[in-house]
Chains A and B, each alone.
Chain A
Amino acid sequence: MQTIDMATTSLRELNETLQAQSQATNQTQWQIDNPKGSHAMAVGLDAPIEVTIKGSTGYYCGGMNKQAVITIDGSAGPGVAENMMSGKVVIEGDASQYAGATGHGGLLVIKGNASSRCGISMKGIDIVVHGNIGHMSAFMAQSGNLVVLGDAGDALGDSLYEARLFVRGNVKSLGADCIEKEMRSEHLEILGALLEQADADARPEEFKRYGSARQLYNFNIDNASAY
């Protein structure tokens, strides 16, 4: 295990060290102490390493991640795992706004709650939130899966494209063009696998599925009031 203490290390050194890890690195376990809410920690990683951050992080932790498994032993600031490509980011606490924004792949697990705009514009990432999510989550979400064990705030899935949304609790309101959809066996399968990967104690049958009504896919003047 390699340890980096942010009390004595600059952000540049931290990221440079982690980004320098190659595909075949022997140093696969990293612990970051004293993060103290720093921004842009462990961004742009691209190696099969495990990074555990002992404390809370500022903006964009794990941004554009590839391959790495990053665990935040605390809460995460805005835009955690933004534009993630692959790998996994796990937050033991809560996540602020735009968690997993525009993510293209990988798995984001939030053990606590997520704030507004969780999964905004997601493009293939899977997100599992053990708690609740805030308003406007999955806005313009294109693809991937958003799983919420708790409740969802207002305007869930507004202007949604092809992403799948699974919510166990209540949905305060659905956004434009987002509707409840039939849960078929293939969905139960996807959901079951995600719950397992995210260590979530829930059964797929307890969830409802939401998706795009696809009414806004091609502009139609009769829908103008929906925008």
Chain B
Amino acid sequence: MSDDPSARTTPRKSATFSDDVNSDIRRAAQTGIYDIRGGGAKRRVPHFDDLLFLGASISRYPLEGYREKCDTRVTLGTRFAKKPIELDIPITIAGMSFGALSGPAKEALGRGASDAGTSTTTGDGGMTEEERGHSKKLVYQYLPSRYGMNPDDLRRADAIEIVVGQGAKPGGGGMLLGQKISDRVAEMRNLPKGIDQRSACRHPDWTGPDDLEIKILELREITNWEKPIYIKIGGARPYFDTTLAIKAGADVVVLDGMQGGTAATQDVFIEHVGQPTLACIRPAVQALQDLGMHREVQLVISGGIRSGADVAKALALGADAVAIGTAALIALGDNDPRWEAEYNALGTTAGAYDDWHEGLDPAGITTQDPELMARFDPIAGGRRLRNYLNVMTLEAQTIARACGKNHLHNLEPEDLCALTVEASAMSGVPLSGTNWVPGRQGY
């Protein structure tokens, strides 16, 4: 062998067998069990970043940034409910389970959302006083597990969300491992302490859209037809699922794409099942339009919403509002570099910490451990969330004004172009610099 370096190739790692892939293989070989984690899909998929707004031009004139109004209000549940939900901003807090999150974290979500004029959502495990008490508008999830489900909380809620699926795991149930089943969580769920708790993936007392229609009737009858009924679906078959949800009698459809977070699920599920958020919106809007229900049944989009630009893009594609999960947790302080030393001790780093199910969260948010929980101040957390929601709203307004819109809902697909062929095909807006939308003619 020659000592001359130019006679050798540089070490080259495989794109197929990357460091991540190899570590997955080693982990599986060592433990014999699949990886469970929180969060959403980490792979890159076409997303809102692949869309741009065109802005104003000779044919579209803009609104004056600090003078002309750009309205942000939205009403959810106008179809059947006697008491629709009126929100100041079209950004809601997605359902996150008590059990996955601590009581103070739930309180902070309620405080921040209420200050910003929007709603929060319960999650698997039932309604807590922290959340009801601090949320002016609270959506109560009706999940397959029915943990803590009862008619009094149903009536205390401002809306009911029937969870059929979640973007992170369409077709999967919930998971809360024994470490996080404290006395309080166990009692709310009516289960022994310390056991792994798996929430069912299907509802126990209905299957299919015809049953769902009757289930909705029952819930409306129990709550005097007051509450808006949302149906939450994962991004699986958005056109058909939206159609069926509308036919079953939904007031609101919540559609969660594959980047949507979860408290804990198999990594293989998170990364390989479901469609990207971007690909879900237009088919859902099409379903609403085909049934003459666009804006009559409201569409809430979630899964990877991070900024006012994302909000504006989702709305321009036809959504009425968005929901945020992961971003809200980050605003509260999840994965904050200030805890870097502790993340390192857990074998990870700020920004990558996703073992929320283990209950060891240094930031004290995704835990039931009293000492860790005490690190988190719900009042300061609520303030941070409020600030963040306000900034997102200002950002979305900035874009809407630039596009000449006096309400965020006036944004439209014609305000957008796509940066990639994929994003263009998925979102149905033309590829930048062309009038071409792959898969469609005569757009």
Contact = CB atoms under 8 A, between A and B. Distances in A.
B217 interface: yes
A120 interface: yes
B191 interface: yes
B221 to A, nearest CB: 5
| Chain B contact patch, size range | 20 to 34
A83 B146 contact: yes
B439 interface: no
Main secondary structure, interface of A, reads loop
B224 A63 contact: no
B211 interface: yes
Interface string A163-183: 000000000000000000000
B151 A64 contact: yes
Contacts of A143: 190
A199 interface: no
Interface in A174-227: 217-219, 221
B80 interface: no
A35 to B, nearest CB: 14
Given A104-B150, A121-B145, A123-B146, A15 B221 contact: yes
B205 A140 contact: no
B326 interface: no
A85 B150 contact: yes
Interface in B199-225: 200, 204-206, 211, 214-215, 217-218, 221-225
Nearest to A16: B224
Contacts of A139: 204
Contacts of A104: 149-150, 190
A162 B192 contact: yes
Contacts of A111: none
A82 B223 contact: no
Contacts of A108: none
B150 A58 contact: no
A78 B208 CA distance: 13
Nearest to B144: A121
A217 B218 contact: no
Contact of A60 (B192, B194, B218): B218
Contacts of B196: 217-219
| Chain A contact patch, size range | 35 or more
Given A58-B214, A117-B204, A218 B195 contact: yes
Given A12-B225, A102-B204, A121-B204, A44 B192 contact: no
Of residues B32, B177, B194, B221, which shows the largest number of chain A Cβ atoms within 10 Å of its Cβ? B221
Given A43-B222, A79-B206, A221-B33, A123 B214 contact: no
Contacts of A19: 224
Of residues B178, B196, B215, B222, which shows the largest number of chain A Cβ atoms within 10 Å of its Cβ? B222
A140 B206 CA distance: 16
A143 B195 CA distance: 14
A39 B225 contact: no
Given A59-B214, A102-B149, 12 more contacts: A12-B225, A44-B222, A59-B218, A60-B214, A64-B222, A78-B205, A79-B206, A85-B150, A139-B204, A161-B191, A161-B192, A218-B195
Per CB-CB distance, the 5 closest pairs between chain A and chain B, nearest first, are: A44-B222, A79-B205, A217-B195, A40-B218, A102-B146
Interface of B: 31-33, 145-146, 149-151, 154, 177-178, 189-192, 194-196, 200, 204-206, 211, 214-215, 217-218, 221-225
Interface of A: 11-12, 15-16, 19, 39-40, 43-44, 46, 58-60, 63-64, 66, 78-79, 82-83, 85, 97-98, 101-102, 104, 117, 120-121, 123-124, 139-140, 142-143, 161-162, 217-219, 221
13 contacts: A44-B151, A83-B150, A101-B205, A104-B150, A104-B190, A121-B204, A143-B190, A162-B191, A162-B192, A217-B196, A218-B195, A219-B196, A221-B32
